[in-house]
Amino acid sequence: MPERGLRLSCRRLKDWVEERYDVEAIRKLATHKLVPVHQYEIWYYTGGIAMFLFILQFITGMVLSFYYIPHFEWAHKSIIEIVTKLNMGWFFRSIHHWGAQLAITVLFIHLFSTLLLKSYRKPREVTWVTGFMLLGISIFFGLSGYLLLWDERAFAAVRVATGGAGNLPFIGGFIKAFLRGGIDVTGDTLTRFYAFHVAILPIVSLLIIGVHVLLVQVHGMSVPLSLEKKPQKTIPFFPNLFYKDLIVWLVVLGIMVTLATFLPPEIGKRADPLAPAPENIKPEWYFLFLFQTLKLFPGEILGLNGETIAIILITCGILFFFLIPFFDRKSSRGEPSPVFTWIGIMYTLYFAVMTVIGFIT
């Protein structure tokens, strides 16, 4: 009898929703959306994994924010308390840490696969732009979250990163002062980074994710140039690809939990603005390619500051990378563009090699 009542209530709720909203249209959209099947389809999963990790980051971040104190005198202590005193606190912090590492790794894989498969070509230029912006935001998420730890390594890393941004001509000084909230990295920087990390960046990223996902729905999945003219086999997004996505997400979740259990992130000594920077400090892995590039330049080039020249060149390189869909006209016309394939390979190799060198040296 109660089962019948429950079924009736569910039926009423369903009718209530369907009378007000066009649920059938959403169902049709999900079942009618087709996804191409080919040898490169594995790269389609990276976008879904990134979104799954973003959701996990939001959840674990919310849990951590209940206990974190964004004040330079209490920040470090509050994290120690989260890790040592709270039930499962160490686990949530570790999951948040590894979630961030995996999300940025997956985003880089997603970016380079999009670049090499030329999925950025017409009409998906704006999708590329929003994706690139999301990667930039994720890196800033990482940097701002790193400082929240308020230990000596995070402090030194943020001092170097914001100092590097300050070397940009004209706007560098403004960016540096804006990020630091003053001349040097202080408690004001911590408050500012906290605001970025928990309020500004989540809102901006949610908006851009919305646009990115919407554009993917509008244009559909991109097919590589070499396969575009061949007859395509397709499968429905729902349920076929959705179930495959679920399997991949479960595996990613398992890997993340395993990493969080076996390799929980360390907590260093509390940051002391007056103490010298600790020896052999390295930035987070996704900044290593920049760090290694800066090392290649001498202190002075033709009487100019070497670091400034390096920062300008890196900025130009990143800007070119960002605007690649607008330069690669051939692939937009559906013609092969080997020059841009080689440019893509060079960018991918440079990033990978410099990151590895930075890691092992």
Partner 1 sequence: MKRFISTLGFIISSAATALAEEKIEVFPSVSYDQYTIYQNLAIFWIAIIGLIVIIRMKLREIERIQKMGIDKAEKDIPLLD
- The site for partner 1 (CB under 8 A) is made up of 80, 83-84, 90, 93-94, 236, 239-240, 243-244, 246-247, 250-251, 253-254, 257-258, 261, 264-267, 269
Residue number with CB closer to partner 1 (218 or 251): 251
**Cβ-count burial 199-235 (b if 16+ within 10 Å, e if not):** eebbeebeebbeebeebbeeeebbbebeeeeeeeeee
Q: CB 7 → partner 1: shortest distance, Å?
A: 14
Please answer whether residues 78 and 68 qualify as being in contact, where contact means their C-beta atoms are separated by less than 8 angstroms: yes
Residue number with CB closer to partner 1 (254 or 336): 254
Residue number with CB closer to partner 1 (207 or 250): 250
Q: CB 257 → partner 1: shortest distance, Å?
A: 6
Q: CB 69 → partner 1: shortest distance, Å?
A: 17
Q: CB 252 → partner 1: shortest distance, Å?
A: 10
Residue number with CB closer to partner 1 (136 or 236): 236
Please answer whether residues 73 and 34 qualify as being in contact, where contact means their C-beta atoms are separated by less than 8 angstroms: no
Q: CB 31 → partner 1: shortest distance, Å?
A: 10
Please answer whether residues 219 and 14 qualify as being in contact, where contact means their C-beta atoms are separated by less than 8 angstroms: no
Residue number with CB closer to partner 1 (182 or 278): 278
Q: CB 84 → partner 1: shortest distance, Å?
A: 6
Please answer whether residues 139 and 286 qualify as being in contact, where contact means their C-beta atoms are separated by less than 8 angstroms: yes
Please answer whether residues 289 and 354 qualify as being in contact, where contact means their C-beta atoms are separated by less than 8 angstroms: yes
Helix or strand run (H / E) with residue 35: strand 34-37
Q: CB 103 → partner 1: shortest distance, Å?
A: 19
Residue number with CB closer to partner 1 (28 or 295): 28
Q: CB 17 → partner 1: shortest distance, Å?
A: 19
Strand 233-236 versus strand 34-37 pairing type: antiparallel
Q: How many other C-beta atoms can be found within 10 angstroms of the C-beta atom of residue 269?
A: 12
Q: CB 11 → partner 1: shortest distance, Å?
A: 12
Compute φ and ψ for 301, nearest 5 degrees: -125, 115
Which amino acid is residue 265, in one-letter code? P
Q: How far apart are CA 344 and CA 290, in angstroms?
A: 18
Residue number with CB closer to partner 1 (69 or 257): 257
Per DSSP, the three-state class of 39 is: coil
Residue number with CB closer to partner 1 (256 or 310): 256
Per DSSP, the three-state class of 132 is: helix
Q: How far apart are CA 33 and CA 267, in angstroms?
A: 47
Can you list the alpha helix ranges (DSSP code H) found in the chain? 2-20, 23-32, 44-65, 75-84, 89-116, 125-148, 152-165, 172-180, 187-195, 201-219, 225-228, 242-262, 288-296, 306-322, 324-327, 329-332, 338-360
Residue number with CB closer to partner 1 (83 or 204): 83
Count how many Cα atoms sit within 13 Å of the Cα of residue 78 in the half-sphere of its side chain: 15
